[in-house]
Structure 1
Amino acid sequence: MPHLPRKGRARADHGLPEFRATDRAAPGAFSPWQLSGAGAVGGQVIMGLPTLSRLRHHFGQALSVWPFQPPDRPIVLAESYFSLLASAHLTDHAIRDAAQVSLYARAFSNLTPGGWDSLLAVDPTPEGWVLGLGQATLLQEAAMPDLTPPPLRNDCFAMPQGAHWTPVDEALAHLRTNLTAVTGTEEIPLLQAAGRILATPVTANRSHPPYANAAVDGYAFAGPLSTGAHTLPLHPGRAAAGSPFAGTVPPGHAIRILTGANIPDGTDTVVLQEDTAASATHIALHGPLKRGANARRAGEDMQAGDDILPARHRLTPADLATLAACGTGTVAVHRLLRVGVLSTGDELRAPGGTAAPGQIFDANRAMLLADVARWGHQPVDLGIAPDDRQRLGKILDDAASRCDAILTSGGASAGDEDHMSALLQGTGSLALWRIAMKPGRPLALGLWQGKPVFGLPGNPVAAQVCALIFAHPALAVLAGADWPAPQGFTVPAAFTKSKKAGRREYLRARLTDGAAVVFASEGSGRVSGLSWATGLVALPDAAAEIAPGTSVTYLPFGSFGL
């Protein structure tokens, strides 16, 4: 069939388009005219047509072919592309084709009648259509397994008994071991995924780069070249990014190529334009030039099927670029963790209002709501609760219906007005931790209607330090992420301090000329020190004598996600 050569650009005068409308709508689809040559797709279709014919013969009027006929028979045949769905979200099969078919079976079996109506609402067309084309989101949502995590155990905060003071590292290890994700999952477009936490691993849908391509503007030829001067005839045409050269470059010839263009057949090496002298018909250059020079190998960055990013990874802007480059359009992520923030105490008033003698403005709520937002969660403002146990219980009831976790400040100790601890005690889940740290000794933890509650101290500095050290990593795990250990740096001290053994101390600090300077006061009510500081100096549990030049650990606020 002379008018149907294998190369699409050479086909002409057969009266039909190169691609069907459905092929143009499906990225990566092959032309039906590929059947005129060799290829696996052609073999599958040629073998499949007799099978379809046998089905038609056997079932007769019980069968219809969509979209040429209405889907109103017991059996409906439809064309589909299993690659429309990302098989990376299914790990039941090691073979990619099997994973894709299984994923489609799950999607179709989970579709509601309304979903089927939407999927089949395609006008009849003489070209046919692909079932699900343009509706991958609908299918992907139906295909996703139920990944709603189980509730936390009622004893998830219960520390081993016997120690009156709990060391910081022991408390952190307990949280890391006993907390799990509490959020479900959803499938979202990649462009909306910055800051979200992956629920499943992502594999590359496509190699990057997908084809060998030029790293520079110049001329492509078959290398290598030996030492000395060389002259090569120029082959007509050129290769440019997005417009690859369709033919084959003859041996001993060169062809014009631009940065990012696919390396043409018959070539494997590129010479930099500035290293050549060119005429309309020839180029001249000096060797030596090794084979593959100035050419990027196909898949040298990522190979199709490679694991790219693991589950529990929080996506950065750079991650979005990586995933986009390997063909990822949607990702399965954990739903945003909804974190309620509640301040407690009759003495508190909202900022900007009026405060009578004995009253103070609520500094903690604004700070903790901002912490939650910066950590990538969804903050929920629960307001201020009075020192009234019954009213506080109702506020917690409402919070449990709207939040996945709750941060409170104040009322976290064991005094007469520490109603938060008393309420959690009533649930049988209270763990009143006396942390061996300064600031921030009392930490009340428990479950309210199955939702984890972190009762922080009332003093702003203690509340923030406890939030950074304990709430930041704990909330990350509840949100589906890995435990984020803060990155510390060893720097010389620019202060003097004598520290007793028995508890870890966190000092508000900043770096000046590479040394750690600490805030003038260690008082946990001096909230302005948090604004002054750029991080914390962590002093060890053991006794220590700090003098200028002594090595200390500096934890920048950035290592806590702020």
Structure 2
Amino acid sequence: MSQAPVRTPLKPLDVALAELLAHALPLAGNERVSTFEADGRVLAEDLVSALDVPAHDNSSMDGYAVRAAECGDPQAWLPVSQRIPAGFNGEALATGTVARIFTGAPIPAGADAVVMQEDCTARAAEAGDASPAVQVQKMPQSGQWIRRRGEDVARGDVVLRHGERLSPASLGLAASIGFGELSVAPRVRVALFSTGDELVMPGEVAPADMKPGAIYNSNRFFLRAMLQRLGCVVTDLGIVPDRLDATTAALKGASQQHDLILTSGGVSVGEEDHIKPAVQSLGELSLWQLAIKPGKPFAYGRVGAAHFIGLPGNPVSSFVTFLLLVRPFLLALQGGTELAPSPITLPAHFVWPKADKRREFLRVRRNAAGGLDLFANQSSGVLTSAVWGDGLVDNPAGRTIAHGDPVQFIPFPAFLA
């Protein structure tokens, strides 16, 4: 009696990710780009400040620079001895006077506080008076409304570190210490294609004219968008027919000028799934099928000098595996150091009564009560769940969820920023 074939155990996600990242050596070479153009890029050098920010003590309010000890009498009129707008240095503050000052202007020597103009009564210069005057209605505290030199950045500080992915805020920080250009990791060159004779491009065939079994290629759109958000240079190779020769030719051609080949579909075990034999004929396949749901059919290997990642054809499976595996892989190729967002513990406002052998990623969204609601249909083909939801619950294998249980929530914006 013949024995049944031995099935290779499905690989746990954490093990698969570690193996995947072990292959993701940072790409060679860096490039200098305008700070204006560096959003989303990965920094290739530490940024060290050559100056203090702010460069001097300055006012954080429009008002009056004062000596706090001289402002104890709200009926006293204090002469305004000078006017200091932003970008100009004032003179030392004369005893018994105040200085009209504006936000960002340097604090004059001798002043130790700023009083908001709303807390003062101003009087214009009268006949015979050399200057206008004010009454300070609220006794100030020494140091109030003063931004101290270097309180944001001190000279010599490392303000942004090698491997950080640049955000709009970090671009502003780089500019604040004088960097008009930045050294960043090279963009990852990605060849993208889908497999499947059932796939049709939106706009090419009207819904009424779709043949039985045909579906629109949605994966191509969200995968390309996510690659571009990660700063990749994408070559879209379209839809490859479900033939071994066509799949092999597409992989071979894509391997010659790309760092990564990313495919969608064809990585299962059906007779029309040609990715596995095609990759093995050209290179090697070192990772195959994961113990996660959705997303079991996932593959990693090499085709020539290029990395290869094969994603499932079902849209939610493709979407989730991109977030969990492809995104950190691409960031690692760029030398990134923050590869995965941290989950948030929130209460489940739903019941998940049936445990699965695989680690599950459930589409949920936060509600007004501070908990998480579950999308009713968790099928891997229901892309609506990824639009309705605002994140994933990371549910360990073998675990049921009762209403109120704490669960690990990963918001989509943390992945897609």
TM-score of the aligned structures, taking structure 1 as reference length: 0.64
Residue 526 in structure 1 maps to residue 382 in structure 2 = yes
SS of corresponding position for 2:298: strand
Residue 208 in structure 1 maps to residue 32 in structure 2 = no
- Residue 299 (structure 2) aligns with: 444
CA distance in structure 1 between the partners assigned to 2:345 and 2:174 by the alignment: 35
Q: Equivalent residues in 2 for 1:76-475 (5 A)?
A: 164-182=9-27, 184-221=29-66, 224-225=69-70, 227-228=72-73, 234=79, 236-245=81-90, 247-273=91-117, 274-275=119-120, 279=125, 280-281=130-131, 285=136, 289-354=140-205, 355-475=210-330
SS of corresponding position for 1:311: coil
Q: Equivalent residues in 2 for 1:462-541 (5 A)?
A: 462-500=317-355, 502-513=357-368, 514-541=370-397
Does the CA-based 8 Å contact 1:443-1:455 persist in structure 2?
yes
CA distance in structure 1 between the partners assigned to 2:112 and 2:361 by the alignment: 60
Higher relative contact order (CA 8 A, sep 6+): 2
> Could you tell which deviates more after superposition, 197-206 or 525-534?
525-534
Q: How far does residue 456 in structure 1 lie from its aligned partner after superposition?
A: 0.9
Root-mean-square deviation over aligned CA pairs:
3.0
As a proportion of its length, which structure holds more helix? 1
Does the CA-based 8 Å contact 1:421-1:432 persist in structure 2?
no
Does the CA-based 8 Å contact 1:211-1:297 persist in structure 2?
yes
CA distance in structure 2 between the partners assigned to 1:270 and 1:492 by the alignment: 46
CA distance in structure 1 between the partners assigned to 2:101 and 2:26 by the alignment: 51
> Could you tell which deviates more after superposition, 267-276 or 338-347?
267-276
Does the CA-based 8 Å contact 2:267-2:275 persist in structure 1?
yes
CA-to-partner distance for each residue in 1:69-102, whole Å, 9 max, x for gaps? Answer: xxxxxxxxxxxxxxxxxxxxxxxxxxxxxxxxxx
Letter in 1 for 2:204: G
Letter in 1 for 2:51: R
Q: How far does residue 504 in structure 1 lie from its aligned partner after superposition?
A: 0.5
For structure 1, the residue ranges without an aligned partner over 5 or more in a row are: 1-161
Q: How far does residue 236 in structure 1 lie from its aligned partner after superposition?
A: 4.8
SS of corresponding position for 2:353: strand
- How many residues in Structure 1 have an aligned counterpart in Structure 2? 399
Does the CA-based 8 Å contact 1:213-1:261 persist in structure 2?
yes
CA-to-partner distance for each residue in 1:494-549, whole Å, 9 max, x for gaps? Answer: 433333453111223333444433333333233343333333232212x2233333
Does the CA-based 8 Å contact 2:288-2:297 persist in structure 1?
yes
Residue 549 in structure 1 maps to residue 400 in structure 2 = no
Letter in 1 for 2:265: G
Letter in 2 for 1:184: G
CA-to-partner distance for each residue in 1:304-340, whole Å, 9 max, x for gaps? Answer: 2211111111222222222222222211112322322
Q: How far does residue 178 in structure 1 lie from its aligned partner after superposition?
A: 4.0
Q: How far does residue 293 in structure 1 lie from its aligned partner after superposition?
A: 3.6
CA distance in structure 2 between the partners assigned to 1:340 and 1:373 by the alignment: 12
Q: 1:225 to 1:375 in 2, by over 3 A?
A: same
Does the CA-based 8 Å contact 1:183-1:404 persist in structure 2?
no
Q: How far does residue 291 in structure 1 lie from its aligned partner after superposition?
A: 4.1
Letter in 1 for 2:190: V
Letter in 2 for 1:295: I
CA distance in structure 2 between the partners assigned to 1:229 and 1:549 by the alignment: 57
CA distance in structure 2 between the partners assigned to 1:512 and 1:220 by the alignment: 48
Q: 1:528 to 1:201 in 2, by over 3 A?
A: same
Letter in 2 for 1:346: D
SS of corresponding position for 1:407: strand
CA distance in structure 2 between the partners assigned to 1:343 and 1:193 by the alignment: 30
Larger Cα-atom Rg: 1
Does the CA-based 8 Å contact 1:205-1:328 persist in structure 2?
no
CA-to-partner distance for each residue in 1:397-427, whole Å, 9 max, x for gaps? Answer: 3323443222101222344433221122234
CA distance in structure 1 between the partners assigned to 2:141 and 2:387 by the alignment: 58
Q: How far does residue 446 in structure 1 lie from its aligned partner after superposition?
A: 0.9
Q: How far does residue 250 in structure 1 lie from its aligned partner after superposition?
A: 4.3
> Could you tell which deviates more after superposition, 510-519 or 201-210?
510-519
CA distance in structure 1 between the partners assigned to 2:165 and 2:212 by the alignment: 46
Letter in 1 for 2:143: G
SS of corresponding position for 2:15: helix
SS of corresponding position for 1:300: coil
SS of corresponding position for 1:498: coil
Q: How far does residue 169 in structure 1 lie from its aligned partner after superposition?
A: 1.8
For structure 2, the residue ranges without an aligned partner over 5 or more in a row are: 1-6
Q: 1:352 to 1:215 in 2, by over 3 A?
A: closer
CA distance in structure 2 between the partners assigned to 1:171 and 1:301 by the alignment: 41
CA-to-partner distance for each residue in 1:440-482, whole Å, 9 max, x for gaps? Answer: 2121111122121111112222222211221122122223322
CA distance in structure 1 between the partners assigned to 2:143 and 2:362 by the alignment: 56
SS of corresponding position for 2:222: helix
Q: 1:219 to 1:545 in 2, by over 3 A?
A: closer
Letter in 2 for 1:261: A
SS of corresponding position for 2:255: helix
Q: How far does residue 211 in structure 1 lie from its aligned partner after superposition?
A: 1.4
CA distance in structure 2 between the partners assigned to 1:526 and 1:235 by the alignment: 69
CA-to-partner distance for each residue in 1:115-155, whole Å, 9 max, x for gaps? Answer: xxxxxxxxxxxxxxxxxxxxxxxxxxxxxxxxxxxxxxxxx
Letter in 2 for 1:556: P
Q: How far does residue 302 in structure 1 lie from its aligned partner after superposition?
A: 1.0
Q: How far does residue 164 in structure 1 lie from its aligned partner after superposition?
A: 1.7
Q: How far does residue 557 in structure 1 lie from its aligned partner after superposition?
A: 1.9
Q: 1:531 to 1:250 in 2, by over 3 A?
A: closer
CA distance in structure 2 between the partners assigned to 1:291 and 1:553 by the alignment: 46
Does the CA-based 8 Å contact 1:232-1:254 persist in structure 2?
no
Q: 1:253 to 1:409 in 2, by over 3 A?
A: same
Q: 1:424 to 1:248 in 2, by over 3 A?
A: same
Q: Equivalent residues in 2 for 1:38-77 (5 A)?
A: none
CA distance in structure 2 between the partners assigned to 1:338 and 1:217 by the alignment: 51
